[in-house]
Each structure stands twice: as structure tokens, then as C-alpha cells.
Chains A and B, each alone.
Chain A
Amino acid sequence: MRLKINNIQVGYDDQTIVHDLSIEIPDGKITTIIGANGCGKSTLLKAITRIIPHQAGTVILDGENIQKMNTKVLARELAILPQSPESASGLLVEELVSYGRYPYQKGFGNLSQKDRDMIDWALEATSTAEFRKRPVDALSGGQRQRVWIAMALAQETDIIFLDEPTTYLDMAHQLEVLELLQQLNVKEGRTIVMVLHDLNQAARFSDYIIAMNAGHLIKAGDATEVMTNETLRDVFNIDAVIGEDPRTKKPMCITYNLLKSEERASKKSEVHDMVV
């Protein structure tokens, strides 16, 4: 395991959002963090990628504490695609993707041949080469997301983090993005770590799932270990019926109900007992 998170605590001001969480990210796999809104999954992702500082604990990459690493050196090891980055830019697709080479550049940032090759490759891999001369914000949501992924690819890192890469996309485009990530994982051996909202997508595409509730780790494991009635009750306060996807043979949540408030309350205290 290259990336290890030890007893990490993250928060803003006096509010703690992630409590004493330890986890190891498996190399060369797709890992997905799931959990209810506000459970701290994005915060965890940001803390691992030093976008926000953590207050206690350590994030270790190849034996080095990332908070003590040179940020540009770290940017050659892990890339992060934040949640719905503002499309604010009238940048051309190839301009945006070329900024993925930033961690390798000095001075004015003239592109070397290697940089150009990586940019071309990233555009090809994400099927965005055909609109490389178009402004990013003239593209559809799905295309735009693929362009941002191309930028992360141009960064040439073994580990790629994505915060809800499917948000605001329709069903078909969601799948398109996830299949692209899967391809990168299988063909290139990239480690992918992402936050997803859709449980069934998480189960279908992930080798490893991290389930969180209220800033605590509830369960980590493969889809069959995490997609259980019990875990989903602890994570989302739902009563889920788990079946099997007839095509992928992965577990899937077929239907669910909200738990009644008294059940919830009792569950919550149990959750806390468990982690404390």
C-alpha cells in the first residue's frame, strides 16, 4: 500500500468533520467513498490530497508525510479533480489540458515534446481530441467532465482522486465517465479514489468501498462486504433490499425505505459505541 491514512482528524474552525479515521488505499484498484450528505466524504478526500489541512493524524505516501512533502512533487504522484470545477474558463480544451503539465514545468512553462505527447495522449484516452480547439464551456456536461479528467491524466500520476465525477450528468454520461475511469484502472493500472453518491454505481465499479457516517468510518471492503442491509442502515439510515445485478453479478440495492426515527436514534448511538 502506497497511501496510508492514520488517525486523521479534519475540520473547520471548532467543528470536527472527520474523526480519527484510519484507512489504507489499495494500489491499482478503484476505491469509492460513500456516505450521506455532509458525512465528511469530500472533506476526507480533500484532506488526503492536502487541499485542506488536517488537524491530527498523518497521510503517508510511500513512507513520507504528505504535509511535509513539496507540493509540486506531490502533484506528480497524485492528481485531484474537485467537485464540479467552475467552467468559468473560456480556455480552449487543449489549453486547459496543457495546464495538467504544470507540476513538471519551470519558468514560463514552455511545453516540451514529452509534455505535448502526454497532452495528446490524455486527449485521445478521454476521446476529447476532436474538440481540442473548442472552448471548454462550449461543451456539454459530459464532454466537459472528460476534458477535466484529461487534465488530471496529463498530470501523469499513478493515483487520481475524483470528487463526485458524475454529478450533474445524465445516466448515459455518468456511465461513460465511470467506464473511462475503469479503463484507466485496468489498462494503465492507475489507482482511482473517488466519491460517489450512487450506491449501485459504487458497487459496480469499485474494488474497494469506504462507507462513512458522521465523519466516522463504518465499514471498508469490497462490494459484497459493504452492500449489506446492516451496513447501509448504519451509513444512510435506510432499510435496503440487496440483490444481484443480473448483468454484472455485483450486489445492488433494489429498493429501500427510510428507517423510522426511533430506529434511527438507537442505531446512531450504536454507531457511536462501535467507533468509540
Chain B
Amino acid sequence: MKYFRKIPLALQLVFMFVVLLIVMFVAISFGAANTTLADVWYAIWHSSDDEKTNLLREIRFPRVLAAVAVGAALAVAGAIMQGVTRNPLADPGLLGLTSGANAALAIGFVLVPNLDYSGAMLACFIGAAIGMAIVYSIGSSSKTGMSPLKLVLAGAAVSMFLQAVADGTGLLFQISKDVSMWTSGGLQGISWSAFVVMPIIIVALISSIIISRQLTILSLNEDVAVGLGQKTFVIKTMMFIIVVLLAGAAVSIVGNLAFIGLMIPHIVRGLVGADYRAIIPMSMIVGGLFMVVVDLIGRTMNAPFETPIVAIVSVLGLPFFLVLVKRGGRFFA
């Protein structure tokens, strides 16, 4: 880890990106139907009617690319939330964003029975924004101000409530199946049609890189940020929008998934330090990498059955969370 930090950032990023590409390549080749690396290579460059190529192009490619996008989006959303709130426990799944998106999605299905991808996405954005707003207003409402633990407690309570709204709505209107297809937290059945959200994720990720310097300043101390001449209200509003877009888009693809936004930025800090100019781009790559690997494990561990990735992420995430709490917010102490 120490040696890794001595390498210039650009090289670190290139190195990790190459690792990501290799892992993606391998992940595409694994699955219920037997395919080889050569098949994958062929399918990247050729579209043909043979079964293998079609399977790779229509099922595996979108699935692995979606995994990268979701992992990157959740990791960056978590990193930004941790920076803005100076709260090491912030995560879109823990602070009400994903459950808010779920609830909004359920309500969306009730109001518009044939909700398409764009509609679902919009519902997710609105729900994520509302969920986050509720958690933050509860977490900061008491006189002693906002503390990391208070926020997490508010997040847990609000998440449960919003999840109940989602489940209740599903049961009441007998659309549980539709809703759970979206929110079960998996990448099964992802097709290219899910990629309507990609432009939003890409724009939000690029914005997060541009804004990363501001995030470091804000993460030091709000008064320091003002003193250095930052328009903190404008910057915080932009960050809020980026987080909502990333988390909402991620939910619209993969459903409920906590802990990724929590874990990845902390692992990345161990690699590149505390400057968000390094943390943000590295979180994208490592988040994507993590998600591809988890999805691969989910697909292959008990093939031909899929092991839910929520279960795998939680098995890793919960101990991580506990260690983080015990060490006062530092994973690499």
C-alpha cells in the first residue's frame, strides 16, 4: 500500500484501469453457458448470428458494463457524501437514498402501470432526493447538531420506513412482483434497454471529477472552505444533485444495494490518500471492479442459480462497517 502511494496518480489510475479491463474481460467469459476468452474477444469486434456471440453481446456485455457503471456510481456517491458531511459512515444505501428511490419506484408503478425505463429512472431520482433530505433533516434537527452516528441512526429508521412504504405499496396494489424485479438488488436480466441511464451516470461522474478539488476543501472544514473563497452553498447544492443522480441511476439499474458507497472510498483512501482529486477517479475504477467481481461471484458460486449480490455485498460490508465504527471512521488506521 505504501509503495502504491509513491507512484504518480496518473499511473495508478492507468494501472487500476487495466486491471478493471482484464477483470471485465474474464467476467464476460464466465457464466452458465460455456464461452472462452477467445469467444469474448471475437464478440467484441464482430456481430454475427451465431448463438455464442449473440449471448455475449446481448446478455453478458450489458451485464458487466452495467456492473461497472453501478459500482462506479455508488462508490462516487458514497465518497462525495462522506466528504461533504465529513462523515465516514455516509453511504447512499445507509442514508435513505436507495430506499427512497425504491419507495418512489413502487408509487410510480401504481400511478403509471406501464412505467418505462425513463419513468422509473425519474422516480428513482425523486425518491433518492426525498430520502436523503428526510435523513439529513432528522439527523441535523437536534440542538447538538449532526453527528455521524445520529445520521446513521436516522438513516436506518428512515430507510426502514421507506422500505415499508415500498413493500406496502407493492402488496396493496399487487405489484410486488414488478417492484421486486427492479429492487431485488441484482443484475439479472439487464439488457441494453437499461442503458438509457448511462448518459446521466457518465455526466454525473465527469462532474464529480471536475468538482473534486472543491470537495477536498469542503471536507476539511466548512469555515476553511468559505475562507478560501469557495461558494459553499452552490458547491454543496451541486454535490447533492450529483449524489442523487448517481444513487438514483444506480437503483434504477440494480435496486437496493448498501455498503458499496461506504466501503470503496475507504479502501481507495488506503491506496491514494485523502485528496478527493485522487479519491473520486480511483473510486470509479475500484467501485466498478468490485461490482464486476461481486456479480461474477453471484453468477458462478452456485451456478446455474444466481446468488443475490445483495447477500454477498452485505456479508463483506457489515464487518467492514463494524470495523469502521470501532476505529472511529478510519479503515486503515
On A, residues with C-beta under 8 Å from B are 46, 49-51, 70-76, 79-82, 85-86, 88-92, 95-96, 99-100, 102-103, 108-109, 135, 155
Contact = CB atoms under 8 A, between A and B. Distances in A.
Interface in B189-241: 210, 213, 216-217, 219-221, 223-224, 226-231
Sorted nearest first, the 10 A-B pairs with minimum C-beta distance are A75-B229, A72-B229, A90-B274, A80-B227, A82-B223, A85-B221, A103-B229, A102-B228, A91-B274, A71-B229
Contacts of A92: 273
Contact of A75 (B216, B228, B273): B228
A71 B273 contact: no
Contacts of B230: 71-72, 102
Interface string B246-281: 000000000000000000000001000111010000
A155 B231 CA distance: 17
Nearest to A73: B229
Contacts of A50: 226
A158 to B, nearest CB: 15
Main secondary structure of the interface of B (DSSP, over half): helix
B273 A99 contact: no
A70 B234 CA distance: 14
Contacts of B220: 85-86, 88-89, 91, 96, 99
A86 B273 contact: no
Interface in B40-69: none
11 contacts: A50-B226, A75-B228, A82-B227, A85-B223, A88-B221, A90-B330, A91-B274, A95-B273, A99-B220, A102-B213, A108-B213
A50 B228 CA distance: 11
B150 interface: no
Nearest to A95: B275
Contact of B227 (A79, A109, A135): A79
B270 to A, nearest CB: 9
A88 B86 contact: yes
Given A102-B217, A102-B230, A155-B228, A108 B210 contact: yes
Given A74-B229, A91-B274, A51 B269 contact: no
Interface of B: 86, 210, 213, 216-217, 219-221, 223-224, 226-231, 269, 273-275, 277, 330
A51 B210 contact: no
A36 to B, nearest CB: 22
Contacts of B217: 99, 102
B273 A90 contact: yes
Contact of B213 (A49, A88, A109): A109
A91 B220 CA distance: 9
Contacts of A109: 213, 277
Contacts of A85: 220-221, 223-224
Contacts of B275: 91, 95
B207 to A, nearest CB: 13
A193 B211 CA distance: 32
A85 B228 CA distance: 14
Given A88-B86, A90-B273, A71 B219 contact: no
Given A71-B230, A71-B231, A91-B216, A80 B223 contact: yes
A155 B216 CA distance: 16
A223 to B, nearest CB: 28
A100 B275 CA distance: 14
A99 B274 CA distance: 13
A71 B229 CA distance: 5
Contacts of A51: 223, 226-227
A102 B214 CA distance: 9
Nearest to A79: B227
Contacts of B227: 49, 51, 75, 79-82
B221 to A, nearest CB: 4
A109 B231 CA distance: 16
Contacts of B226: 49-51, 71
B274 A82 contact: no
A107 B314 CA distance: 39
Nearest to A91: B274
Given A72-B229, A102-B213, 5 more contacts: A76-B229, A85-B221, A85-B223, A95-B273, A95-B275
